[in-house]
Chains A and B, each alone.
Chain A
Amino acid sequence: MREMDQSVEFQRDIATRQRSSWRACTLRHGWIWHMMGYAAIVLSVIVIGLPIYWMLIASFKTSREIYTVPPTWIPLNPTLDNYPAAWQAAPFARYYINSIIVTLVTTISKMTLAVLTAYALVFLRFPGKNIVFLIVLAALMVPAQITIVPNFLTMGDLGLVNTYWGLILPGAATAFGTFLMRQYFMTLPREVFEAAEIDGAGHMLRLWTIAIPLAMPALVTTGLFAVVNEWNEFLWPLIITSTEDMRTLPIGVARLLDQEGLARWGVVMAGTMFVVMPVVLLFVWSQRYIVEGIASGAVKG
């Protein structure tokens, strides 16, 4: 034991000595590397930000300015006219209501169902409950894109084409959320639940007062992902809606482009801002949860 300690100390000694001789070297290289790091920040922010900046300034340009060659990089006489023009060019108020209803209902449904199923899978005894978990895993392997034709036919049979139910139902359940919540519940300390059980708390009380508060970080991440995904969802709303009053924002703005097209870019860009702004604001407010959620999802699985 002592011998090992000594050898570790010896190695550490070498390491510190080596490091001091290296320091001069790394400082020299480190300086260049550091500057390259800043250059990378500046360059990547410009490249990634340019299209977003372009949308922003175009939405403030007069149509005359938009069609000048070469284009201007700062609006010469900024105007707000494009926003009311876009709001009137398509029923954006209706698109907003539809998008908000579909996003909220789907997200709440996903979070609720994920928590309930995950709680049952982790804390309740049931013969063969692993089969249920395997079914959840199997559902993860079916991408939504390949279900569109059958789901459209099912909705036709149920008479739900072009209705809120039709928009919401196929996305109301979640295999992914269930999987995430189950993995998180598995890490919670069992003793807390056992103590509550001894105190006479039933399962629903334990779920509400212990499991959900403890699992808040995972639940918030699941909810944020669901909100962003549902808000941006394009394929299913495109198929299942057929009249203007049922369209969601992404479909609506794509139709605005078809209508106004290359003739009124300022208006189209203002319409695009309507779609993008809520998610960008949500992202600015919660980017730590979203980015950390993505990162830890990859590192921990």
Chain B
Amino acid sequence: MREWYERLLFILLITPNMLLLAAFTFWPMIYNAYLSVISWNFLSPIRRFVGLRNYETVLTSDIFRIVLINTAVFTIVSVAVTMVLGLGLALLLNQPLRLRNGARAVLFTPTVLSGAAIAIIWIYMFDPRFGPLAQIINWFSSLAHLLPARFSESGLVEWLASVRSPQWLSDPNWAMSALIIVYVWKNLGYAVVIYLAGLQTIDRTLYEAARIDGAGAWAQFWHVTLPGLSPIMFFLLVTSILACFQAFDIIRVMTDGGPVNATNMLVYHLYERGFIQSQAGPAGVVAMVMFVLMLILTILQLRFIERRVHYS
């Protein structure tokens, strides 16, 4: 009797959550697989089965190659810059400093801001005429005449004096850099917070032991700090890569994937195929490819979490 009551209660408690997950998380995966093998424009009553032809079309298309390259460049550069800068900052902040927690909070603020708002703010920041970045660049450029005369022979002064703000968002060669700057700005605080937490977990006596063995600051960093931080760096690496793969809102508002696809990346491409070009099949293919890529990363991350949970 009690046993049956408990089983009934179990089913009652998990059902709403499980039903919603089934409808809006698992069913879409089956649906994506189905969409990826049909030809359909979302409106027509005719859905034609085309086998793997959509995969062939998407995977061999120029646009998809560009999207993959863009995603790779964006992910590698912004993750690398964020992780290196974040580590440096965290090491510097990992000492008793006044206002340290205040600085940590300011650094973390961009992480909680809406991507749409961030994009709008940065469009203004990057404005080549009225934006503050242009003014800072002009100010550095105006310093040219202060350089000693001997530099003028090398052309350095002329070059510096002629430097102007790039057309960040309308120049295909600069748009990706602009986007990376914004994402580093947004994610730096997150990295610092994670690093600082990781630094707290390193056993202090290890440093003393290293000192006794005659290790200098550099050797201590290489042989104590880095190995001690490695699990947390792995966590940060995987979560940052996943976040980059999922980047959409800032791209949509700031560049719309352009100019000429210079910032077109996976989620934006999926959105474009599905909701702008109304191609159900190719959209399904892009979703399937993204799923496989992210699955690999998420499994890596879960392994890490599992290990942590079991051995901590």
Binding site for B on A (CB under 8 A): 14-15, 18-19, 22, 29, 33-34, 36-38, 40-41, 44-45, 47-52, 54-55, 58, 66-67, 69-71, 73, 113-114, 116-117, 119-121, 124-127, 129, 132, 135-143, 145-154, 169-170, 172-175, 178, 183, 203, 228, 231-232, 234-235, 238-239, 249-251, 253-254, 257, 262, 265, 268-269, 272, 275-276, 279-280, 282-284, 287, 290-291, 294-296, 298-301
A-B contact pairs, 8 of them (CB 8 A): A125-B3, A125-B7, A126-B7, A148-B270, A149-B287, A154-B31, A239-B271, A272-B120
Q: How many residues of B contact A (CB 8 A)?
A: 110
* List of A residues within 8 angstroms of B42 by Cβ: 153
Q: Measured between alpha carbons, how far is A149 from B130 in the docked complex, in Å? A: 39
Beyond A127-B7, A183-B309, A250-B115, 7 additional contacts (C-beta under 8 Å) are A37-B92, A113-B20, A265-B130, A272-B117, A275-B116, A276-B114, A298-B197
B interface secondary structure, majority:
helix
Q: Measured between alpha carbons, how far is A265 from B190 in the docked complex, in Å? A: 29
Tell yes or no: B188 within 8 A of A by CB: yes
In the complex, which residues 6-32 of chain B have their Cβ closer than 8 Å to any Cβ of chain A? 6-7, 9-11, 13-14, 16-21, 23-29, 31-32
Q: Measured between alpha carbons, how far is A70 from B211 in the docked complex, in Å? A: 53
Given contacts A41-B103, A275-B117, A296-B197, contact A173 B267 (CB under 8 A): no
Stretch at the interface among B56-64, B72-80, B294-302: B294-302
Q: In the assembled complex, how far is the CB of residue B271 from the closest CB belonging to chain A, in whole angstroms?
A: 7
Q: Measured between alpha carbons, how far is A215 from B189 in the docked complex, in Å? A: 27
* List of B residues within 8 angstroms of A52 by Cβ: 109-110, 121
* List of A residues within 8 angstroms of B1 by Cβ: none
In the complex, which residues 92-133 of chain B have their Cβ closer than 8 Å to any Cβ of chain A? 92-93, 95, 97, 99-100, 103-110, 112-125, 127, 129-132
* List of A residues within 8 angstroms of B120 by Cβ: 253-254, 257, 268-269, 272
Given contacts A150-B31, A173-B24, A279-B114, contact A141 B287 (CB under 8 A): no
* List of A residues within 8 angstroms of B249 by Cβ: 232, 234-235, 250
Of the residues B17, B125, B245, contact of A178 by C-beta under 8 Å: B17
Q: Are B10 and A55 in contact (CB under 8 A)?
A: no
